[in-house]
Structure formats: structure tokens, C-alpha cells
Amino acid sequence: MSEKPFLRALRGTVSKAPPVWLMRQAGRYLPEYRALRAKARDFLSFCLTPELAAEATLQPIRRFGFDAAILFADILIVPHALGQQVGFREGEGPVLGALGNLQPAEAQRRVAPVWETVRRVAPALPKEVALIGFAGAPWTVATYMVEGGSSRDFARVKQQAFAKPAEFAVLIDAIIEATVTYLSGQVEAGAEALQLFDSWAGVLPETEFRRWVIEPTRRIVEAVKTRYPGVPIIGFPRGAGLLYEAYALESGVDAVSLDPAVPLVWARDRLQTRMPVQGNLDPMLLVVGGEAMEQAVRRIREELGRGPLVFNLGHGILPETPPEHVAALVELVRR
Amino acid sequence: MSEKPFLRALRGTVSKAPPVWLMRQAGRYLPEYRALRAKARDFLSFCLTPELAAEATLQPIRRFGFDAAILFADILIVPHALGQQVGFREGEGPVLGALGNLQPAEAQRRVAPVWETVRRVAPALPKEVALIGFAGAPWTVATYMVEGGSSRDFARVKQQAFAKPAEFAVLIDAIIEATVTYLSGQVEAGAEALQLFDSWAGVLPETEFRRWVIEPTRRIVEAVKTRYPGVPIIGFPRGAGLLYEAYALESGVDAVSLDPAVPLVWARDRLQTRMPVQGNLDPMLLVVGGEAMEQAVRRIREELGRGPLVFNLGHGILPETPPEHVAALVELVRR
């Protein structure tokens, strides 16, 4: 198992060419994904139908031969698990129902189809390819649960976190518990590494960042690693900026995923000396392709390639990305 | 002139209580502003009618006694000056017309009403209150000009900056030139300090940040300071994160405005040792008020109060802010 290049990198091994996978590698930029997506009634059913979700997970592996597959699911599976209504409107993003009483007792039953997806994917992967499970981190999941969807200013969730921290902590605790259950089941089903996505980590001042980003992450990492000490966990505090270092050192994660704004030399000196890093090509450079992309890839490899690195984007693939640019990227990274 | 507390702080003087003003202190959270706004046909006419814009500038000074007034205008005055159509839809934000041939020759005539606003405000201010002029920084202005309005992913402007940098540089150069003209006229009309707002500085990787955020800012600062060496310039690279330090040291600005995510101890040790800082209360804490706000204000004063500081928010006042919280904040900062 530890022979897979992706897992080797997460244990600190430096190789000539870094392993590569891309966030949202299973997605709308692929025609075969769009065809598959058309078979499901809505996005949530798509995620919760193991046959379809397993196929979506495998599609980019077949096409590009990435070093890791990431479970096809969504960070809003946890709100769904807790009994909140979760919908997705085409082109608009998620729409969540009113945040009523949480139903943690239902969580296992509600996430079981995702575990089944992992169970189907694991044996279907080429032997060099690792399988990554994931969940949203509590702060980010809470933003959707409180705002009822995407947000520009995070007014409601910030007001709650700032003005009623004790009440907000109850929600965060429920998310932590459901997330530990959810991730543990993914490991039991065959996930070999985990990633926590904290997409909105960047909108909090330091005090609140420590309380609502670092501390909940630390608790999840601790709980999961107590049960599965061998499973590496990657943290992705997108937009954390000057708080990236505190997150990396204090949350307990094994590796940290860098957004495109993290300067490479800084990451090399301050983070990569302590743990493997993952990242961080700007997804728009993958859309653009050509010389601009090549230069940026060379720079990442030059600055971060002499330490443990998983090559990735700094954020998810954009729907307008030409698949041939992805193929060119993989070739470039492996060259 | 150098006796005004705000200007003293920008020259590096530390005082017992820092001077205070708030970004977007003239705005929708004030009933008197909403009444005034109703007199103009649309937001652009509001900005370009000196009688109304001067009154909007003065309202928060009368109500709260801030240490500085900031010219009431909009960062999209420069696209307007260059001949692009600029509109504002209620609740939706700005809508810009197609980006055709720029008309730099028209710029002076088109921004003249803003200069007239400054000319009216300057003599109307209490003698201790300074007058700040401002403009958007080129990268942020370019995002609106290329995207045609607000954006979530900055797809078009990033594609242009990444894929066609030479073409994009032509646009940036035109913005720089118009901005230098615009700011110089503000100083001639009575502005005693200037602020450059780079609201979207945080979305670029380091290489592009240096090219499209730091370098254009440096050129504006250099040009303005050559003409008006005594006028301090505050730079606000919102969201710059790990690139805040490079911006502060390399752009030539006299002081740097901090967004809410900048950690205080870091700012004290790495920035305030080199220049005055401004900030950085989270605007949502001003909405929330009470103990949460008081704690955060105390923390800012404790960490940054022993060096040169202008107290401010980390971003503009939100429309839902209760004006009595603003009064409480000013009292708290001066206590």
C-alpha cells in the first residue's frame, strides 16, 4: 500500500516527478461526466447513487491516469446527513432548507451510499492509484448551513459566530461528530487518505480563525487519527493567507494544500520544511494553457519539487477547462 | 496642517488614542445618507453632483466627529473617465458597458465634478479633521472594466492577464495614467492624504500580484509623490495575505491598511515597525456591537496601539450597521 506514489509523497518522500491529481478532477469539464450526470434526477441523487458516483470517480483516472482518485461526493453531504434539506440549482449553486433541529441519529443511514461508492471504487483502481476520501471542514460546512447556500459576505454565519458563540459551537460540534463518523466510514470502505476542504477559511479574523477553523479541524484530525493512525489527512484552509502557518502547525494535519495565492518560496521555507505540501497552480492557468501554464508549472516544480510535494491546483478545476490542457498538464508534471 | 491627528499618525507619531475614520463611513447605514441619495437619479449622478457628494462626505463627520473625511465618490469614476459606460443596479452592484476604445483625452473633463466636491468639502471641515482623496488601484479597477461588473471567479480578467499580458498592460497603463491625473486633481483641490483601494488584490498568484498589483501601485505612488511629496498615500491590498509584506515594502506607499484577516501580532512585528498601519476591525463586529466588538477593539489597541495606528475597519461599513454602534466604537477608540 505504501508503494503508491501519492501516499509516499504524503509520508515525506521526495521523488523526481511529484504525484499529481486535481481538485474537482471529476466534473463538468469532462464530456463523459456530463453524460453521466444526465442520468441522475438532481445533483444530490447523483452523489448518493453509488453506481453513478463510482463511475464519476473513475472517469478522470481512465482518461488522465492521475496518481489519486478522489471520491465523487459533495461537502454538503454532512448537512444532508444531519437532516437539513440540500438542493442544487443549475448555475446557482446549493440551496439549503431552514436550519431546524439536527438529526444526528440519522447520519449513518444517510451517508451510507457514499461509503458504498468508496467500496466500489477501491478495487476498481489501478494498483498505483490511491483513493482519497474527503469532507468539508466544519467552518465551511457551517457557512452553507447557516447562510442557506453560497454567500458573498457571510453576514449570517459571521454574526452568529461573533454574537452567539456558544450557540454556534453547538452546530460546529454536531458537524464535527458527523464528519468523524462520515470520514471513518470512508476509511473503513477503502479510502487511503483524507482531505478536509475549508473553502471559506479566509474570511475570519485570527481569533475566530483559531476557534472555528483550526480547533474543529484539530478535533476531527485527532479523532480520525486515533482510530486510523496510518491514514494521512490533508488540510486545505483556502484563503488562510497569513494564518496558513498556524493552521498547518496546530491543526494536526499531515499535509497542507496551498491555494494559488500562497507564495512558493514562503511555502518551501515555512511549511514544506515541516510537512508535505500540495498545490498550487491557479485553475485559470489550466483554462489558459500554453506557455503561461508551462511557466507556472515549472516555477512550482522548481521551488517545491525538492521537498515532498503533491502536484495539484490551488482550487477546483473550472468547468470551462479544455480536457486537452489537463492531459498536457499531467505530461508536463511527469516530464 | 500637520497638526491634524490623522496626518500626524501617518507621519509616524504615536498617540494615546489613535485617530479614527471608517471605510464607507458615508453610506447606506445612515438615514441622512439615504435621504440625500434619493435626490439623485442614479448612483453615478450622485457621485458626480458636487453639492450632493460634498454633503454625503460631511454627514458622518457631523454625526460622529471622525478624524478624517473621505471624499464621497466611487472607484468606478476612473472607468467612467476613460469613456466606459458605468451604471449601478440597486442591490446588484455595478454594471459596466462593453470595453471599447478608451478615451483618455476626455478624462479630465469627466472627473472635474469630483474635484469640485473636494474643493467644497475642504473648507467645510472642522480644523482638526483631515480630508482623504482616493481611487481604486489599477488591478481592481481593471477587474470591473474587463468583467463588466462584480465577479465571483474573475475568469475574464484573469484569463486576459494570464494569456495576453501585453494587451492587458495597455489597459493597466491607461488606468495608471488616468488615476495619476485624477488623484493629482484631488490634491490640488484640497485632499491631504490619498488611499488606493485594491479590493481584489487577493485573487492573484505571486508573480501576477507583483506585476498587476505592486508594480502599477508603485508607478502611481511614484508619480503622485513626485508632484506632491508631502501627501501621504495609504495602500489597501485587501486579501493580500502572505503578500502584504511585499506590497507594503515595494509599492512605495506610506502606510498600509489591513483587512480583518491580518493577524495583529504579525502586523505589529512585520509592518508597523516600518510604517503606520490602518485597520482592522471586522465590519461584521460593528454590526454585532456589544461585548464582541469591545473585545476586538481592545485587542487591536493593545497590539497595534503602541505604534503608529489609524483605527479603521478591515473593509467598508455594511449597510445593516446600526449607527449607534458606530458612535459606541468611536467613543471606545478614544477612551
Name the band, by pLDDT with cuts 50, 70 and 90, for residue A1: very low
Nine-digit cell at B66?
Answer: 471622525
B224/A241 Cα distance (integer angstroms): 30
Do A222 and A230 meet the contact criterion of CB atoms below 8 Å apart?
Answer: no
Whole-number average pLDDT of chain A: 97
Cβ atoms of residues A86 and A79 within 8 Å = yes
SS3 sequence of B37-94: HCCCCCHHHHHHCHHHHHHHHHHHHHHHCCCEEECCCCCCHHHHHCCCCEEEECCCEE
pLDDT bucket at B2, cuts 50 / 70 / 90:
low
Question: Per-residue confidence at B90, pLDDT binned at 50, 70, 90?
Answer: confident
> Is pLDDT of B99 > 90?
yes
Cell of B69: 473625511
Give me the pLDDT at residue B80, please. 97
B213 with B252: CB under 8 angstroms?
A: no
Q: How far is CA B98 from the centre of its chain?
A: 25
What does DSSP assign to residue A150?
A: -
Determine the average pLDDT of the residues in B209-222.
98
How high is the pLDDT of residue B152?
A: 85
pLDDT in tens, B267-282: 999 999 999 999 999 9
Question: What are the chain A neighbours of B320 within 8 Å (beta carbons)?
Answer: 155
- Residue A15 pLDDT greater than 70, yes or no: yes
Residue B188 has pLDDT above 70, yes or no: yes
- Per-residue pLDDT, B1: 47
**Average pLDDT score over residue span B14-41:** 97
Q: Which among A241, A243, A260 has CB closest to B205? A: A260
- Amino acid present at B71: L
Q: What is the nearest CA distance from B197 to chain A, expressed in angstroms?
A: 18
Collect all residues from B whose CB is shorter than 8 A from any CB in A: 152-155, 158-159, 162-163, 202-207, 209, 239-244, 260-264, 266, 280, 282, 284-285, 287-288, 290, 292, 296, 299, 314, 318, 320
Contacts of A217 (CB under 8 A, 6+ apart): A137, A138, A196, A198, A235, A237, A247, A251, A252, A253
What is the reported pLDDT for A2?
A: 54
Interface of A with B (CB under 8 A): 152-155, 158-159, 162-163, 202-207, 209, 239-244, 246, 260-264, 266, 280, 282, 284-285, 287-288, 290, 292, 296, 299, 314, 318, 320
Mean of the per-residue pLDDT values of chain B: 97
Span A101-149, pLDDT tens digits: 999 999 999 999 999 999 999 999 999 999 999 999 999 999 999 999 9
Report the number of distinct structural domains present in chain A. 1
Chain B CA closest to residue A314: B205
Q: Is-catalytic flag, B62? A: no
Nearest to A205 among B163, B240, B260 (CB): B260
Q: Is A227 marked active-site? A: no
Q: Would you state the pLDDT for residue B282?
A: 98
ipTM, 2 decimals? 0.94
- Please give the pLDDT value at position A53: 98
In the set A33, A67, A74, A182, the catalytic residue is A74
Q: Is A41 a catalytic residue?
A: no
Nearest partner of A9 among A68, A63, A70, judged by Cα: A68
pLDDT at A213 over 50: yes
The arithmetic mean of pLDDT across residues A14-33, rounded, is: 97
Q: Which residue is catalytic, options B24, B110, B120, B219?
A: B24
Q: Do the chains contact at B261 and A242, CB–CB below 8 Å?
A: yes
Pick the residue from chain B with its C-alpha nearest to A289.
B163
CATH code, domain carrying B228: 3.20.20.210
Helices then strands, each counted (H, E), chain A: 16, 9
Domain span at residue A222 reads 5-334
What angle (nearest 5°) sits at the alpha carbon of residue B279, between those of residues B275 and B284?
165
Residues in B closer than 8 angstroms to A264, CB to CB, are 206
For residues B159 and A287, the answer to whether their CB atoms sit within 8 Å is: yes
- The tens digit of pLDDT for each residue in B30-73 reads 999 999 999 999 999 999 999 999 999 999 999 999 999 999 99
pTM of the complete model: 0.96
What pLDDT, on the 0 to 100 scale, is given for residue B91?
74
**8 Å CB contact of A264 and B206:** yes
pLDDT of residue A3: 86
Q: Give the range among A152-156, A268-272, B167-171, B253-257 with minimum mean pLDDT.
A: A152-156
pLDDT higher than threshold 70 for residue A73: yes
Q: Around Cβ B207, how many Cβ atoms within 10 Å?
A: 15
Any idea what DSSP says for residue A188? H
Percent of chain A at pLDDT > 70 equals 99
A289: three-class secondary structure by DSSP? coil
Going along A152-270, which residue ranges are E strands?
193-197, 233-236, 255-257
Of all residues in chain B, what percent carry a pLDDT higher than 90? Answer: 96
